[in-house]
A and B are shown apart, each in its own frame.
Chain A
């Protein structure tokens, strides 16, 4: 048995195809991004080695820091909204009729492409025919906001569409984790006279803490690399008011043909995602694994 299942040739045959694909198309590109970041390059002509100049330029580029600020704002916004999703999941995981239908309905936006969501929300936010402003004027409000054209609110308008997109996903994950808690544990607490409030805070949440950590990482990293919806909806505008790291990088590369500089931004994005993942896991590390 061991001899057959330890045959090196067979193992290589099974592992190498996928390993070569991911090495060539995911891992070697991230190394190359770091390397291109040291070059002055328009993507077509010759590269010129300029050392750390792109990275130095990065540090003093106000447009770049503007996009970093927006990305981090989105990350904070997403982490705060996780609390709302957790509350909803706690409610759903109680004795609620139709819980399964609710969570399935909530998930629908998550299944659609960001392009479709962006196009739909551009119409929801449309100044005159959009559903939102129609509702506001129906309610008698004179104050009709320009959701995507007003520099002060555009970022938050975009965030709301992103929350609409992802709410169902996080509710689903929390719900699944909560449903995994053995009913006997909760029953025992109930018999001991714990209130639903206490059961939620003292038993359920501590038991799914690992899942909560994973969702925090997902929300932060997902926010920092977020791109599609913002790119389609506002193109980072108006005047950079909704620019994020990925959209700034993309425009630097494929609109301005600063491939070297854009690579430096891409490499920065990679580092920041890996460091933050590591940090969150480190800060919230616990020695004990919870066993039921």
Chain B
């Protein structure tokens, strides 16, 4: 609106406002205003529940029940965070999530890089079949594998051990990791490899000294995507792990809330602790995460 008004005010001497042209432009401005309003409203819907979560994580029950839900926590109760971290095993769960996620991410990316390299650069008969096996793996529902995996881990004595979830994470994240890596590997120039081979460089040496360092950016993308998946995973941990000392945050939080179900502040604090690492990562690496999610779901 403002822009149109200004044009009319200053435009008198500069040019004659054409009523035919200025009319739709008012309509267009209004339409744009409505669109912006809708886009902002959607953003508020997506973000607001998290703000509310932060608010009630800093209140005690009395404040939650007796003040309006949107009231700022005037007297922020940080002790909620201290309480759940020390009393609720949350520290232990957090530590488990960190190391289990890290180990699974590193092994997944290494194995996926090997396969992607072999598929994109080496010459062998079954490369497209193997690629197909990994891609179809993406469509297989976790629940269709759960009982045999459970019984396999019981037989191999891996049940209730972190190895069971690390292995499951690797297996189920390989497809998406390979898919993201593929696009990048296809764009790597072949000349470098040719030169290296003529110089007598072995494939292994070339892979570790030349190829892997060149793929650092895409490895970072797959790392963050894998990290998000593993950090948030629930079914495998809930099924394979029963000891408190090996549980990760998702399942730990779930158990903790079962016990302290009525204490809103404690629940809020637990939830904030569990989502904070991902939110911080997103704040710093949002472009990489966006890129990874896009290329991890749509080929090319």
Contact = CB atoms under 8 A, between A and B. Distances in A.
A22 B144 contact: no
B39 interface: yes
Contacts of B239: 254
Nearest to A36: B147
A270 to B, nearest CB: 4
Interface string B172-203: 10110010000000000000011001100001
Chain B: interface size category: 35 or more
A98 B213 CA distance: 34
A232 interface: yes
Contact of B282 (A6, A108, A232, A262): A108
A91 B137 CA distance: 34
Contacts of A27: 133, 137
B234 interface: yes
B137 A22 contact: yes
Interface residues of A, number: 92
Interface in B110-137: 111-112, 114-115, 117-119, 121-124, 130, 133-134, 137
A176 B290 CA distance: 10
B130 A15 contact: yes
B174 A18 contact: yes
Interface of B: 35-36, 38-39, 42-43, 45-47, 49-50, 52-53, 56, 64-65, 68-69, 111-112, 114-115, 117-119, 121-124, 130, 133-134, 137, 139-152, 167-168, 170-172, 174-175, 178, 193-194, 197-198, 203-204, 207, 228, 231-235, 239, 249-251, 253-254, 257, 264, 267, 271, 274-275, 278-279, 282, 286, 289-290, 293-294, 297-298
18 contacts: A17-B111, A18-B115, A21-B171, A25-B168, A26-B140, A108-B47, A108-B279, A109-B46, A115-B234, A116-B250, A119-B271, A123-B56, A164-B46, A167-B46, A173-B294, A232-B234, A245-B143, A269-B141
Interface of A: 1-2, 4-8, 10-11, 13-15, 17-19, 21-30, 32-33, 36, 43, 88, 91-92, 96, 102-116, 119-121, 123-124, 128-131, 134, 138, 164, 167-169, 172-173, 176-177, 211, 214, 218, 221, 224-225, 227-228, 232, 245-246, 249-250, 253-254, 259, 262-263, 266-267, 269-270, 273-274, 277
